[in-house]
Structure 1
Amino acid sequence: MTMHDAIVIGAGHNGLAAAIHLAARGWKVAVVEQAAEPGGAVKTREVTLPGFRHDLCAMNLSMFAGSAFFAAWKDELIAHGLELVPAPDAFCSAFPDGSWLGVSASLDETASRISAISPRDADAWRRMVADFGAQAPHLFGLLGAEMPSPQTARTVWKAWRAMGTSGLLDIGRMLLSTPRDFLDAHFESDRLKAMMAAWGLHLDFAPDTAGGALFPYLESMASQAFGMVIGKGGADTIIRSMTALLRAKGGELLLGTAVDRIETDGGRATGVRLSDGKVLRAGKAVIANAHPKLVFGKLLPSDPKRAAFDARIAGFRAGPGTMMIHLALDRLPDWKAGPDLHRFAYVHLAPDMGLMARTYAEAAGGLLPREPVLVVGQPTAADPSRAPEGKHVLWVQVRVLPADITGDAAGTITARTWDEAKDAYAERVLDLLETYAPGIRSHILGRSVFSPLDLERENPNLIGGDNLSGSHRLDQNFLFRPVAGWSRYRTPVEKLYLCGASTWPGAGTGAGSGFMLGRRLGGK
């Protein structure tokens, strides 16, 4: 029996952030990970051909680069191998007629593109960027505070002092708005609105979903202000540097080690029992960087005293499913919209809000969408080290899909399980890619497809292929994440804490929940 101050279940970046902070505060910490490699949804692997490094899920590291965790540990992370690569041409949308619109870190470049469509919108874009400079400290302060907490109240107070009641109400209104309503209120061009609204489907915000305006606004404005950041050689640069830093602080990392159950005594978490029967004791905390349904449905025995809480966790809704298609290419796609698109980290194939709404409704109804939204990542445009010289990798995220298939909106795929349907649906995706990048199939050297079910097999936290670890709609966000009354990482089991994408501030690579929990337990 081994004693530690804290046991962390799961070596995703949030669990590692908590472990690093606690180890630096003198805690004896062990991180236990069932997979053979750390990282959770931040992994890079040669899944097509040797020498082609593909980010399995997360690619964009802008949230990590802008995080409080990175600010606190930047120098030491860099000393332990962290390398980030700027992508000043962040994202664009391609349209079926061969036109495109994109956001680059140069405001003049972006505004010029918008002006060609609508001079009025170009002026509105410049105003929005200027307003973002005033709003950003308060929005990021909100995202970096426990919810609710005195820090949240101070953030709101500072926002009111800086912007007045009107400015504070503008932020509040945006936090509640649908993407469509927010964008209609600011712009006239359907293409500009579609370009921004596509970010909503990175989460689970269709154009008419309340609370969905924030992410398109933040991603668009942050990309304009700062560009995008990806990892040199792969997104796993953050994981490699974090695990190295953890070990340098005296923390342990146990890979290929599954937790069979969380040990309790008198309603208090005391450690974990591993699948081989070994018990690790925790004197101060057990931190589960895992989906709450796994924690309270698998790792803990049922307890009548927890019945109401467990029922609410059982009702925690997943977001929609995702498919990932990784391609090794002999060249970047020959985009119909032109070679300028080769500069961009992301190319969205989401031409209008009507299509986005239909796709979401089809997936929500269990149907394979007739035309999904595609997020096409071109990491080798900014980081050629990920592929052999002159070659490229393509990262294709297919949004949004059902976890369980009840039918096909196009009426051509008869399979009703993902193991049977994934190849046929991948072909539909490639057919769609062909309409925007003619001839792309002839440039494919290798491919690897992960269906929603495959993603769950790869990472059990991605239930049903939900890469969000739970819907981010208003009733499961802010102080309601994962459930009301338990948004500050505590649980009804004393000394058992949750972190990760299922907790506030949700999905992404910002390490927010892990770092906030680490500071809460170990002090700032």
Structure 2
Amino acid sequence: MADAVVVGSGPNGLAAAVLLARAGLEVEVFEAAEHVGGGCRTAESTLPGYRHDICAGAHPMASASPFFRAFDLAAHDVELLVPEISYGHPLDGGRAALAWRDLERTVEGLGRDGPVWRRLFEPLVRRSDAVVELGMSDLRGLPRDPVTAARFGRRLVEQSTPLWNMRFREEAAAALFTGVSAHAIIPPRAFAAAGVALLLGTLAHTGGWPVPRGGSQAIVDALAADIRRHGGRIHLGHRVDSLDELAGARAVLLDTAPTELLRIARLPAGYRNRLQRYRFGGAACKVDFALAGPVPWRATELGAAGTVHVVGTRAEAVAAERAVAAGRHAAQPYMLVIQPGVVDDSRAPAGGHTLYTYAHVPNGSDRDVSAEIIAQMQRFAPGFRDLIRHTHVRTAAQMSGHNANYVGGDIAAGAMTMWQTVFRPTPRWNPYATALPGVYLCSAATPPGPGVHGMCGMHAATHVLRDRFGIRTPAAELLHTPV
């Protein structure tokens, strides 16, 4: 058996394996699926030649992540294509709010609330590296830039309390902020939702929200190639059903939800009970569209946006997310829409376009909400229905068949409550170590949580190298070794 074994080949598992292999350890990765990637895969799910991202589609965290910055995706032939408009938010009457990469251009388009948006984000944009360090840390240490942390914290408190409506006077800016906060799949005025909005909003005005040329698979393929280049082995189509199979490894890292650890391990009763209290949250029904042309947005400027949040006003977004939190389907659900063809012409045959959509639904939902998605698109893009060549639907209940970490269709691998944001998956000073010696979790069920950033894997691997192998070389130093 290898020195270290990683179970699961999502971005976090592969990030951990990259660091362990570059540290000179013998590393093996076991993946139940026939392809690496977990939530970062690309496939022709509709028609031949139409390449769809199966889960993650836009990657603001990948371009900002300390792990990926040190790994240097460009040096591994991954091209991140950055739309001019990071995200947009359509409103009725042919209007839209736009978050341009250029903060000032965003401010100019938000009318009376433009200066308000500037005051909200400019201090964070100026110190975006500190914001990223704070948001992608293990949430256990003191920030190196306490001033920026305080500014972030002040805005976090404001946007997660009844004060959140005090800044904005018009609908556009309020909807723009609420749309990005709903990425957390919890009601927008929650602690974690506000934190997500502030982090992703800051990234929108710095590095942007890029999509990889050819699809998200390019990111995980680069990580897998690096593991193999440094002597690691990746076993595909191999589901681990018991930790006993991995006996002999000095360290085991699980890029899995806590439910998988419960399934394959004999755990002390107290720790097992704490893991069983881990909760999963709202879910997603994913619908991929093969289109005959670009989306005919009524607000034509949305044609340049890589990502679009489709739900309507702030009040409509709040109502939709509260319905999901209460276990109900919203009549007009919140939708995340990604149109990679804005910058990547390799995703579809000439003239065609792929469209990535998902709608928030209750956990475990088996409902196909493609009709609701199409209706919402028709509302803001009349004629959309006529462009559809083919669709592919994956309900929330089917999500775990694609990725066991998505319990009930929760693509965040655990509810983003305030408690579970900080204490993922259980309250421990070292959130990656389990109650079993040498066994660690490194999935999105650990800090800093969901997103294609590799940081859960990097933090876990750092603990493993130090605690199990006595290796204290900083991760950045390991990643800067020659490719």
Q: Shorter-chain TM-score: which interval? A: over 0.9
Aligned mates of 1:90, 1:169 — CA distance in 2? 26
- Count of equivalent residues: 467
Hey, what does 1:286 align to over in structure 2?
252
**Could you tell me which residue of structure 1 aligns to residue 133 of structure 2?**
141
- For structure 1, which segment, 106-115 or 11-20, has the greater mean C-alpha deviation from structure 2 after superposition? 106-115
- In 2: Cα distance, 1:213 partner to 1:31 partner: 35
Q: Match for 2:363 among 400, 403, 407?
A: 403
Q: 2:52 aligns with which of 36, 48, 54?
A: 54
2:450 alignment partner, SS class: coil
SS at match of 1:318: coil
- Identity value in percent: 28
Specify whether residues 85 and 192 from structure 1 end up closer, same or farther in structure 2 by C-alpha distance, changes over 3 A only: same
The aligned residue for residue 104 of structure 2 is 108
Instruction: Say whether residues 1:159 and 2:141 are aligned partners.
Output: no
Structure-1 residue corresponding to 2:460: 517
Task: Measure the CA separation in 1 of the matches of 2:440 and 2:332.
Answer: 41
Q: Partners in 2 of 1:168 and 1:330 — Cα distance?
A: 46
Classify 1:171/1:129 alpha carbon distance in 2 versus 1 (closer, same or farther; 3 Å): closer
**Equivalent position of 1:232 in the other structure:** 213
CA contact (8 A) 2:128 2:202 kept: no
- The match for 1:378 among 326, 339, 351 is 339
Residue 390 to residue 180, structure 1, CA distance change in 2 (3 Å)? farther
Normalising by the residue count of structure 2, what TM-score does the alignment of the two structures yield? 0.92
1:402: how far off? 1.0
Question: Which deviates the most, 352-361 or 65-74?
Answer: 352-361
Q: Is the 8 A contact 1:505 1:513 kept in 2?
A: yes
Aligned to 1:213: 194
Q: Quick one: which amino acid aligns to residue 9 of structure 1?
A: V
Could you tell me whether the CA contact under 8 Å between 1:179 and 1:200 is conserved in 2? no
Could you list the per-position Cα deviations for residues 117-174 of structure 1 after superposition, in whole angstroms to 9, with x for gaps in the alignment? x1xx2222223333114553333222343332xxx22x2xx433xx3xxx65443333
Q: Deviations over 1:448-478 (max 9, x none)?
A: 0110012111111100000000011111012
C-alpha displacement at 1:226, in angstroms?
A: 2.5
Q: Please, which of 86, 97, 105 is the counterpart of residue 82 of structure 2?
A: 86
In the other structure, the counterpart of 2:411 is 467
The Cα of 1:357 is off from its aligned counterpart by: 2.2
- Structure 1: how far apart are the matches of 2:346 and 2:42? 13
Shift of 1:286: 0.5
Gaps of 5+ in 1: 264-272, 274-279, 406-417
Whether the 8 Å contact between 2:36 and 2:236 is mirrored in structure 1 is yes
The answer to whether the Cα contact below 8 Å between 1:377 and 1:396 also exists between their aligned partners in 2 is yes
More strand by share: 1
CA distance change for structure 1 residues 172 and 345 in 2, over 3 Å: closer, same or farther? Answer: same
Pairwise CA distance, 1:37: 0.4
CA distance in 2 between counterparts of 1:444 and 1:310 reads 47
Shift of 1:227: 2.0
The TM-score with structure 1 as length reference comes to 0.85
Cα deviation for residue 207 of structure 1 reads 2.6
Give me the whole-angstrom Cα distance separating, in 2, the residues matched to 1:210 and 1:341.
29
Distance in structure 1 (CA, Å) of the matches to 2:158 and 2:36:
37
Contact 1:207 1:353 in 2 (8 A): no
One-letter amino acid of the structure 2 residue matched with residue 159 of structure 1: D
Shift of 1:492: 0.6
Structure 2 unaligned regions, length at least 5: 466-471, 475-483
Structure 1 CA distance for aligned equivalents of residues 209 and 372 of structure 2: 29
Q: CA deviation at 1:179?
A: 4.4
Quote the residue 2:295 is aligned against.
Answer: 333
Residues 272-315 of structure 1: per-residue CA shift (max 9 Å, x gap): x2xxxxxx44432000100012112x1113x4xx2222112111
1:110-259 matched pairs, under 5 angstroms: 110-115=106-111, 118=112, 121-148=113-140, 152-153=141-142, 155=143, 158-160=144-146, 163=147, 169-179=150-160, 181=162, 183-259=164-240
User: Which residue does 1:42 correspond to in 2?
Assistant: 40
Task: Report Cα offsets for 1:304-350 as digits up to 9, x if no partner.
Answer: xx222211211111120101110001111111222x21110011112
The CA distance in 2 between the partners of 1:212 and 1:176, in whole Å, is 11
Q: Does 1:436 align with 2:436?
A: no
Q: Distance in 1 between matches of 2:77 and 2:152?
A: 38
* CA apart distance, 1:520: 2.5
* Alignment partner of 1:300 is 2:265: yes
